[in-house]
Amino acid sequence: MRDLFHEGMSRLGAAVTVLTTDGPAGRHGMTASAVCSVTDSPPTLLVCVNRGNRSHDMFVKNGTLCVNVLGSQHRDLSGRFAAKGAKARFDPAGWTTHATGAPVLSDAIAAFDCRIRSREEVGTHSVFFCEVQEIALSKGETSGLIWFGRDFHHLRAAS
């Protein structure tokens, strides 16, 4: 069942994001695709993170995260944040901060700066319910980065 589940999930396309945090536990980030909307009142996202990932405990301790939605120009950045032990994750891309202090990618196609309001543990993962504090949207033309069929794909916005 596990292998069949993995194969089925590879056929569910998802936006590629970089989740970032900063605070008492330090600055950190990771690549993720397990992000979705919960409600718009108050604006809340659901974010799933493997408890074995070294970023997990930093998100918990800091209580914040920013969901940086990547564009097609961010494929290399996605790889940097997915690699184990990558020291230069936050270089040379341009970063800023907003309400929570979590790093916000300056040219993300969208960035959702959040406070983690609650957490539920399911199997190997924590499901974070993240209340959006601030949103930044890119200006101009955008092209999304999608993970589908175990590979990256580019998605152009309608004109």
DSSP annotation string for 98-116:
-TT--EEETT-SEEEEEEE
Question: Prior bond to 42 cis, omega within 30?
Answer: yes
The predicted model scores a pTM of 0.93
Q: Which residue has the higher pLDDT, 47 or 3?
A: 47
Write the burial class of residue 47 (CB in 10 Å: 0-12 exposed, 13-18 middle, 19+ buried).
buried
Instruction: Write the pLDDT tens digit of every residue in 87-106.
Output: 678 876 689 999 999 999 99
* Pair of tokens at residue 43: 């604006």
What's residue 9's pLDDT?
82
What's residue 92's pLDDT?
65
Q: Residue 110 pLDDT more than 90?
A: yes
The mean pLDDT of 107-128, rounded to a whole number, is 96
Instruction: Write the pLDDT tens digit of every residue in 10-32.
Output: 888 899 999 999 999 999 999 99
Total structural domains within the chain: 1
Range of the domain at 77: 2-156
What's residue 159's pLDDT?
63
CATH code, domain carrying 125: 2.30.110.10
